């Protein structure tokens, strides 16, 4: 496979003429064509449209250039170089680690992230303590990835090390194969591992194979220096103004806290508790314009989907509504599941309406969740702190730093609404983000609903009826 790719690249190089500087081309045609990976850590298409950390950064870069972003998604890393060298794409924004083999064909810009590289195994299969412990176990990695280069360098010291390379698979799928017992080990960067362990809590890090590997955008050699220089200026500025941190929090913030036992329990409760209330969440979500899975995630964080839950402070029910909140919403029985779920949906929707119109999604959702937990007045106080500190109160990354300060006398003594346990809404939001992402993953894996008996009978009767 590697030989074929090199031959293909050599052919592409041989047919290339000397075009004008790449930045001039981009500005002339009014398009920035970017090749990226179809991956949660790069670019995905959801019902709400395209998203992903690489997409967000590339879109902001295109906006700064005043051109239209054209995304060229690929299923595997092995497809990236041919698209760059053929001229189909002007640059690669695909979470590429900088390696010597890639430097042969690409120039890399300013590293905007560093990642650790791990050897991953499944709990219960025996943790490898050294490379010697993996010499007789199956390892599978993405073809043409930096992980292949890494294993090749390790093989110089361990000649019997063997692995399989798969050109038709992403890291997320390899981690799934390890979790399902289809392969013993794989190699994954920290962001991929942190996301997938929420879905497969038995995944574990066996060994750290690399620490602080730089990740950067890639550009074709020869004509792209001007585009690379503009990209470097953009990324350095984005680091300084906080945009990089905001993008990182948007996609990885919830992965910082991982509870192995809690995640296993959540998946079990998805199977044996949620079915009793799922239709209620779905109906409440439809009525109040909220994704039912987000409401279910709130309900799990509040009560673990227990309708009779009661806290020492008097909040109760699946959505753990206070007596004041129930009175505000006109609810009589907080322990009635339907009443609680619809009340919680209504209360959350009202918090969303109170968030400033200048706050974009998904930060708007995170702030509404924080308000659901700690009260909207304390959110207003936290915005004041952010403004005093010179930050951006419309971003969750700055608000999540300010909220814990509400418990410090230095701050709460000079704010209108006083003391609050401000670290709690930050943990609250991160937990719900994790539950919500697991719920989306679990429901997207479900089979389409099969037709009911009535629908089958109707179809059969229509099929037997004579033509009109």
| 461, part of any domain | no
370 and 417 together in one domain: yes
Sequence-distant (6+) residues with CB within 8 A of 343 are: 319, 321, 325, 326, 329, 331, 334
pLDDT, one tens digit per residue, over 67-79 is 999 999 998 888 9
pLDDT at 459: 42
pLDDT at 452: 43
141 and 280 together in one domain: no
pLDDT at 445: 76
239 and 350 together in one domain: no
| 462, part of any domain | no
Can you tell me the distance from the alpha carbon of 302 to that of 429, in angstroms, rounded to the nearest whole number? 11
| 416, part of any domain | yes
pLDDT at 448: 54
Whose CA is closest to 210, among 106, 334, 116, 89?
Answer: 116
List the chain residues with pLDDT less than 50: 1-16, 449-468
Structural Rg of the chain based on CA atoms: 26
Report the residue count for the chain: 468
| 314, part of any domain | yes
Can you tell me the distance from the alpha carbon of 270 to that of 433, in angstroms, rounded to the nearest whole number? 16
197 and 232 together in one domain: no
pLDDT at 263: 82
Boundary-marking domain end, from 228, 253, 278: 253
379 and 418 together in one domain: yes
Domain count of the chain?
3
| 302, part of any domain | yes
pLDDT at 193: 92
pLDDT at 17: 52
235 and 319 together in one domain: no
285 and 208 together in one domain: no
110 phi-psi bin (left φ>0, alpha ψ -120 to 50, beta other) = beta
Task: Identify each DSSP E strand in 183-297 by its residue range.
Answer: 186-189, 203-220
| 186, part of any domain | yes
CATH (domain of 392): 1.10.530.10
153 and 278 together in one domain: no
| 459, part of any domain | no
The residue segments making up the domain with residue 160 are 115-213
290 and 359 together in one domain: yes
pLDDT at 409: 84
290 and 366 together in one domain: yes
339 and 436 together in one domain: yes
| 465, part of any domain | no
268 and 169 together in one domain: no
CATH (domain of 228): 3.40.190.10
Catalytic annotation, residues? 302
């Amino acid at each position: 496979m590697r030989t074929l790719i090199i031959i293909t690249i050599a052919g592409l190089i041989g047919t290339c003429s000397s075009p004008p500087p790449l930045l001039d081309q981009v500005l002339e045609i009014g398009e920035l064509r970017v090749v990226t990976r179809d991956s949660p850590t790069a670019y995905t298409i959801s019902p709400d449209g395209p998203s992903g950390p690489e997409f967000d950064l590339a879109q902001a870069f295109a906006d700064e250039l005043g051109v239209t972003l054209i995304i060229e998604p690929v299923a595997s890393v092995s497809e990236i170089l041919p698209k760059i060298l053929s001229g189909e794409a002007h640059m690669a924004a695909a979470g590429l680690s900088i390696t010597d083999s890639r430097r042969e064909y690409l120039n890399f810009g300013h590293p905007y992230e560093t990642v650790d590289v791990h050897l991953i195994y499944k709990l219960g299969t025996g943790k490898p303590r050294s490379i010697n412990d993996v010499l007789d176990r199956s390892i599978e990695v993405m073809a043409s990835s930096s992980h292949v280069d890494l294993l090749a360098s390790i093989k110089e010291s361990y000649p019997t090390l063997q692995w399989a390379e798969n050109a038709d698979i992403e890291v997320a799928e390899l981690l799934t194969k390890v979790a399902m017992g289809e392969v013993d080990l794989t190699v994954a960067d920290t962001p991929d591992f942190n996301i997938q362990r929420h879905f497969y809590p038995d995944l574990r890090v066996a060994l750290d194979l690399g620490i602080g590997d730089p990740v950067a955008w890639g550009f074709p050699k020869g004509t792209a220096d001007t585009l690379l220089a503009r990209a470097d200026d953009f990324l350095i500025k984005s680091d300084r103004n906080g945009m990089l941190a905001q993008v990182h929090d948007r996609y990885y913030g919830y992965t910082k806290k991982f509870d192995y036992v809690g995640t296993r329990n959540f998946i079990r409760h998805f199977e044996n508790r949620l079915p009793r209330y799922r239709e209620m969440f779905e109906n409440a979500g439809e009525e109040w314009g909220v994704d039912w899975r987000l409401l279910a995630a709130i309900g799990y964080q509040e009560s673990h989907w227990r309708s009779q839950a009661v806290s020492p402070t008097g909040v109760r029910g699946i959505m753990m509504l206070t007596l004041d909140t129930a009175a505000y919403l006109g609810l009589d029985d907080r322990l009635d599941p339907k009443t609680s779920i619809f009340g919680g949906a209504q209360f959350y929707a009202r918090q969303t309406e109170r968030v400033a119109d200048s706050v974009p999604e998904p930060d708007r959702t995170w702030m509404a969740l924080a308000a659901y937990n700690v009260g909207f007045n304390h959110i207003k106080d936290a915005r004041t702190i952010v403004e005093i500190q010179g930050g951006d109160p419309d971003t969750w990354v700055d608000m999540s730093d300010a909220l814990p300060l509400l418990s410090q006398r230095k701050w709460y003594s000079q704010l209108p609404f006083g003391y609050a346990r401000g670290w709690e809404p930050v943990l609250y939001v991160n937990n719900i983000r994790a539950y919500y992402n697991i719920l989306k993953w679990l429901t997207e894996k479900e089979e389409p609903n099969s037709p009911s008996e009535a629908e089958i009978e109707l179809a059969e009767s229509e099929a037997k009826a004579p033509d009109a």
